[in-house]
Amino acid sequence: MDAIISAAELLSALDDLTILDVRYQLGGPPGRPQYEAGHIPGARYVDLDAELAGPPGAHGRHPLPDLEVFTTAMRRAGVSDDRPVVVYDGGQGWAAARAWWMLRWAGHRDVRVLDGGLPAWTGPLETGESRPAGGDFTARPGALPLLTAEDAAALASTGVLLDARAAERYRGEVEPIDPVAGHIPGAVSAPTAENIAEDGRFRSPDELVKRFAALGVEQGTEVGVYCGSGVSAAQQVLALAVAGIPAALYVGSWSEWCHDPTRPVSTGPTP
């Protein structure tokens, strides 16, 4: 099943899909005003912080949400078990991928991300708030692999653990968000920006296969991904899916890892 959908494909199938707008910017203004000012017709706004993540704490800045909260939010947005879902954001792909991953992990079988996000959309926009009929989605968690901190540490030795953050954060040269700089020992630097072509869309499957092969990831490789808080890493899991490579997500990511001072930290350009 395809993990992404083009704007042209979406335009031709609007009436047959549930569409979610997950515009989000770390440290920026909320996405709802942007949504209300103009969104793809029929789309419902989903709040990443409140509905796709739990409160920040020892398990990271964007831990898994309470399943009841998530299920209620998805039903309110019109998500049903037997109706395909398309998710989009402002173009970066991180927030949309987090929604894609959450729904897929929770058992929805048909979820795709709009390639290029809203900037790629050439169809009409509507304003205000769409009010779709309530959905019947039921969460069945476990459909996609999920890593704990212990799992991530082990995978860095037995498979490939990708760090999706910017390279300078991986190296420990800067850390603008979390209290400790560096990376999980054994992890490989793999910034998410390199998954995207100049036009803002994902690179082709062949290009992504080559990119990940250069990082040590091939078919059959056990691979996991983390970032700062499990959001941009979801985009990397999505890119791997486009390349035909299944991957596990460490949702707690660096913000959980560095919360425990007993966990080791590496710095520099190498694993």
Residue with token string 């999706």: 164
The gap from C-alpha 200 to its chain's centroid, in whole angstroms, comes to: 16
Q: Give the C-alpha distances (Å, rounded to integers) separating 198 from 30, 204, 205.
A: 26, 12, 15
Q: Which of 111, 166, 227, 234 is catalytic?
A: 227
The secondary structure of the chain, three-state, reads CCCEECHHHHHHCHHHCEEEECCCCCCCCCCHHHHHHCECCCCEECCHHHHCCCCCECCECCCCCCHHHHHHHHHHCCCCCCCCEEEECCCCCHHHHHHHHHHHHCCCCCEEEECCCHHHCCCCCECCCCCCCCCCCCCCCCCCCECCHHHHHHHHHHCEEEECCCHHHHHCCCCCCCCCCCECCCCEECCHHHHECCCCCECCHHHHHHHHHHCCCCCCCCEEEECCCCCHHHHHHHHHHHCCCCCEECCCHHHHHCCCCCCCCECCCCC
Q: How far is Cα 193 from Cα 49, in angstroms, rounded to an integer?
A: 22
- The alpha carbon torsion through 10, 4, 202, 70 (nearest 10 deg) reads 110
- 51 token code pair: 């509905």
| 227 tagged catalytic | yes
Active site residues: 227
